[in-house]
């Protein structure tokens, strides 16, 4: 099997489980891709796992059943401030480098799920920056134009995904480092709620704020990584258990910047793309509500222009005092600023942070989620050289406040400007809404219709077509509001459902538009002896656990039963109480719900 250009998790996993692909095939291909891409951008990696170790890891996995491991054979990259046993941790500072005795907890959990570490990626030194330019190991660049920054501090991690070198990567996010590089490289950046992924084994930037984040091509992939990696850990002082909170999906309110407060630093193309993003989210069922950005902007100022810079110094104080001369000049200058603050200033800053959290909490009474630009615009490397602090501050305009206010965030692509450079938006929501946030952002990303990363013209490949379902997986036919592009399709995305085929039912089914249904939906009824033409259905494949969760959410009068398709095959599917269905309008003659809604 030839690997897709963008290594999304579902097709790789499906192929491995079907026996058409092996972990050995994957590691050979990704190693070759990494070697080839180094000719374009040699600054992506700081260190890589030797080929013989990759092959040994692959062989070890091949002794295990693929169906038992949710990330079997999936290749990933790791930001080089996260410990991986066998590779040095540098934090992009050679003098600081050390050999960890064990891997970080997040690495252990991902490897236990079958994922394969390919190597350690470049970053702004000590994760201090949003530009990706503060590293002695070189400066990765935007995958679309080498004159522009990759974004940081998780620079190499974002490029590794966007260039198709790995399926996902780990970054970190304190001020936006897991979101800004996603926007600049046309990929997804999921910043979990603080503490739900253990930071044990992470070189801290600001320990009370740091999050390990996930870059991927799709939000469903990013969420799957968070789901596998997340767990409470007593060794991480700010660790928390994810206690899921729900977001509405069919109708919801989303906070947007008032036109008078939309700042794009003169980039009119990005301003237009943000306006288009608002309209797209309206089409998905959202109602825009203007938000007051002033308290968010004030919160952001605490991070770099206030006493929280002292926490950055606290993370590496011993190294700073003995090796200040060995640090990147801009990073050193930022940490020098900690000397300007007293202990009193720090506590005043903490008090103000909590007061602003109270204000922000009341915002959620007005809307369910925020939709913000990820950054005003991308900057050139030359701009950063000329104005390193100012350029960095520009990029954090819409990201710096999120962790200080204890929110979750998911950055997704939002189109391209006429100059070919990408633009992104970020969905922001209350803590612990991570799963629903990723699903909503994924609906937006799918509606955009763009490709992933550098393959912007290649639509995301969900799965390789197979003759039948993989083991312990279920086929489900949907006929109405769960069809692709309809209001409840997100529920299938949430369970990582894979579209297998679009086909017809057997000829003896009728379809009725149910009365007073919100959102509108049909009821399917079988009528023995009726000779129709068959009704359009989409058949999806889900794993057994996902199918169970999906069925549990189905409300009356709907139920899941057995449906016969036009080829005689039986699959699970939506049925309806016959009495309720026949109280509605018979729409069988339209051929299916999609045709009926288009006519209507």
DSSP string of 220-233?
HHHHHHHHHH----
* 264/256 Cα distance (integer angstroms): 14
3-class secondary structure, 348: helix
Average pLDDT, the chain: 93
- Which residue out of 103, 167, 169, 177 is catalytically annotated? 177
Residue 459: pLDDT band with limits 50, 70, 90: low
Active site residue 239: no
The CA-atom distances, in angstroms, between 381 and each of 125, 385, 396, 453, 542 are 16, 6, 16, 20, 45
- Could you read off the pLDDT of 538-572 as tens digits, one per residue? 999 888 778 888 887 777 777 788 899 988 888 99
Q: Are 371 and 273 in contact (CB under 8 A)?
A: no
Mean pLDDT within 493-508: 87
Q: What is the pTM of this model?
A: 0.80
**How high is the pLDDT of residue 186?**
98
> Parallel, antiparallel, or unpaired for β 509-513 and 585-586?
antiparallel
- Could you read off the pLDDT of 55-80 as tens digits, one per residue? 999 999 999 999 899 999 999 999 99
DSSP string of 486-504?
STTHHHHHHTT-EEEEEEE
* 230/292 Cα distance (integer angstroms): 32
- Assess if CATH 3.40.50.670 describes domain 9-300+348-448: no
CA angle 9, 15, 19 (to 5 degrees): 145
Partnered with residue 564 across adjacent β-strands are 570
Active site residue 79: yes
- Could you read off the pLDDT of 270-291 as tens digits, one per residue? 999 999 999 999 999 999 999 9
Angle of helix 294-304 versus helix 343-363 axis, rounded to 10: 150
> Parallel, antiparallel, or unpaired for β 570-576 and 558-564?
antiparallel
**How high is the pLDDT of residue 545?**
77
Element (H, E) at 336: helix 329-336
- Which residue out of 79, 191, 494, 521 is catalytically annotated? 79
* 255/258 Cα distance (integer angstroms): 9
Q: Are 427 and 413 in contact (CB under 8 A)?
A: no
Question: Of 36, 20, 26, 28, whose CA–CA distance to 75 is shortest?
Answer: 26
Strand order in the sheet with 509-513: 522-526, 509-513, 585-586
- Could you read off the pLDDT of 11-22 as tens digits, one per residue? 999 899 999 999
Q: Are 466 and 14 in contact (CB under 8 A)?
A: yes
* 131/124 Cα distance (integer angstroms): 7
**How high is the pLDDT of residue 543?**
83
**How high is the pLDDT of residue 562?**
84
Q: Establish whether domains 9-300+348-448 and 473-599 are of one fold.
A: no
Position 447 pLDDT exceeds 70: yes
The CA-atom distances, in angstroms, between 567 and each of 54, 309, 469 are 45, 66, 16
**How high is the pLDDT of residue 469?**
38
- Could you read off the pLDDT of 140-161 as tens digits, one per residue? 999 999 999 999 999 999 999 9
Please tell me which residue, 550 or 184, carries the higher pLDDT value: 184
Residue 88: pLDDT band with limits 50, 70, 90: very high
Residues 396-421: b if buried by 16+ CB within 10 A, e if exposed? bbbbbbbbbbbbbbbbbbbbbbeeeb
Mean pLDDT within 483-505: 87
- Could you read off the pLDDT of 570-584 as tens digits, one per residue? 899 988 878 888 899
**How high is the pLDDT of residue 432?**
96
Residue 471: pLDDT band with limits 50, 70, 90: very low
* The token pair that represents 479 in the structure block: 């006929």
Most confident of the ranges 341-345, 482-486, 498-502: 341-345
- Could you read off the pLDDT of 323-381 as tens digits, one per residue? 999 999 999 999 999 999 999 999 999 999 999 999 999 999 999 999 999 999 999 99
> Parallel, antiparallel, or unpaired for β 252-256 and 369-373?
parallel
Mean pLDDT within 427-439: 95
**How high is the pLDDT of residue 462?**
41
The domains of the chain are located at: 9-300+348-448, 473-599
3-class secondary structure, 405: coil
Q: Give Cβ neighbours of residue 457 (< 8 Å, ≥ 6 apart).
A: 451
Position 468 pLDDT exceeds 60: no
Residue 48: pLDDT band with limits 50, 70, 90: very high
- Which residue out of 47, 153, 239, 463 is catalytically annotated? 153
* 150/101 Cα distance (integer angstroms): 31
**How high is the pLDDT of residue 457?**
63
**How high is the pLDDT of residue 461?**
46
Using a 10 angstrom Cβ sphere, with 0-12 exposed, 13-18 middle and 19 or more buried, the burial of residue 77 is buried
Active site residue 463: no
What is the percent of the chain where pLDDT is above 90? 79
* 482/492 Cα distance (integer angstroms): 7
Domain 473-599, what architecture? Roll (3.10)
């Amino acid at each position: 099997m030839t690997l897709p250009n963008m290594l999304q998790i579902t097709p790789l996993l499906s192929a491995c489980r079907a026996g058409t692909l092996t972990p050995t095939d994957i590691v050979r291909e990704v190693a070759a891709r990494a070697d080839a891409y180094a000719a374009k951008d040699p600054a992506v990696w700081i260190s890589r796992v030797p080929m013989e170790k990759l092959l040994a890891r692959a062989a070890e996995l091949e002794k295990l059943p693929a169906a038992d491991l949710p990330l079997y054979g999936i290749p990933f990259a790791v930001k080089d401030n996260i410990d991986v046993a066998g590779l040095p941790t540098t934090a992009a500072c050679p003098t600081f480098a050390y050999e960890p005795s064990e891997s970080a907890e997040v690495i252990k959990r991902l490897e236990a799920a079958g994922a394969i570490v390919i190597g350690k990626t470049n970053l702004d030194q000590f994760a201090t920056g949003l530009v990706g330019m503060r590293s002695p190991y070189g400066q990765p660049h935007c995958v679309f134009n080498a004159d522009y920054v990759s974004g940081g501090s998780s620079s190499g991690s974002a490029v590794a995904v966007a260039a198709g070198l790995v399926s996902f990567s780990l970054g970190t996010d304190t001020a936006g480092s897991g979101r800004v590089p996603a926007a600049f490289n046309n990929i997804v950046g999921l910043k979990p709620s603080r503490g739900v992924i253990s930071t044990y084994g992470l070189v801290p930037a600001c320990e009370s704020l740091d999050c390990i984040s996930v870059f991927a091509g799709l939000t469903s992939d990013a969420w799957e990584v968070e789901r596998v990696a997340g767990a409470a850990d007593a060794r991480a002082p700010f660790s928390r258990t994810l206690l899921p909170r729900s977001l509405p999906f069919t109708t919801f309110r989303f906070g947007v910047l008032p036109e008078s407060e939309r700042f794009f630093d003169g980039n009119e193309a990005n301003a237009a793309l943000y306006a288009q993003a608002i309209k797209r989210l309206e089409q998905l069922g959202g109602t825009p509500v203007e938000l007051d950005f002033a308290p968010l902007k004030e919160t952001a100022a605490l991070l770099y222009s206030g006493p929280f810079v002292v926490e950055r110094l606290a993370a590496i104080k011993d190294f700073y005092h003995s090796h200040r001369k060995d640090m990147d000049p801009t990073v050193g200058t930022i940490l020098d600023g900690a000397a300007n603050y007293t202990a009193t200033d720090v506590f005043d800053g903490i008090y103000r942070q909590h007061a602003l959290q109270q204000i922000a909490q009341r915002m959620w009474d007005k809307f369910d989620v925020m939709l913000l630009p990820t950054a005003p615009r991308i900057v050139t490397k030359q701009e950063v050289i000329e104005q390193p602090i100012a350029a960095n501050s520009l990029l954090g305009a819409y990201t710096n406040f999120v962790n200080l206010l204890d929110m979750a965030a998911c950055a997704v692509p939002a189109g391209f400007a006429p100059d070919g450079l990408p633009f992104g938006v970020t969905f922001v929501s209350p803590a612990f809404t991570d799963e629903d946030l990723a699903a909503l952002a994924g609906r937006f990303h799918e509606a955009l219709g763009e490709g992933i990363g550098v393959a912007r013209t290649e639509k995301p490949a969900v799965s390789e077509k197979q003759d039948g379902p993989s083991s312990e997986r279920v086929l489900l036919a949907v006929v109405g509001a769960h069809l692709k592009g309809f209001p409840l399709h997100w529920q299938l995305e949430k369970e990582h459902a894979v579209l297998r085929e679009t086909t017809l039912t057997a000829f003896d089914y009728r379809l009725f538009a149910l009365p007073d249904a919100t959102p509108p939906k049909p009821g399917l009824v079988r009528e023995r002896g009726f000779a129709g033409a068959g009704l359009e259905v989409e058949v999806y494949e889900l794993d057994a656990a996902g199918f169970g969760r999906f069925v549990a959410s189905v409300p009356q009068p709907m139920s899941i039963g057995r449906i016969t398709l036009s080829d005689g095959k039986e699959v699970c599917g939506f049925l309806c109480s016959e009495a309720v269905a026949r109280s509605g309008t018979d729409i069988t003659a339209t051929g299916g719900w999609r045709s009926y809604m288009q006519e209507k």
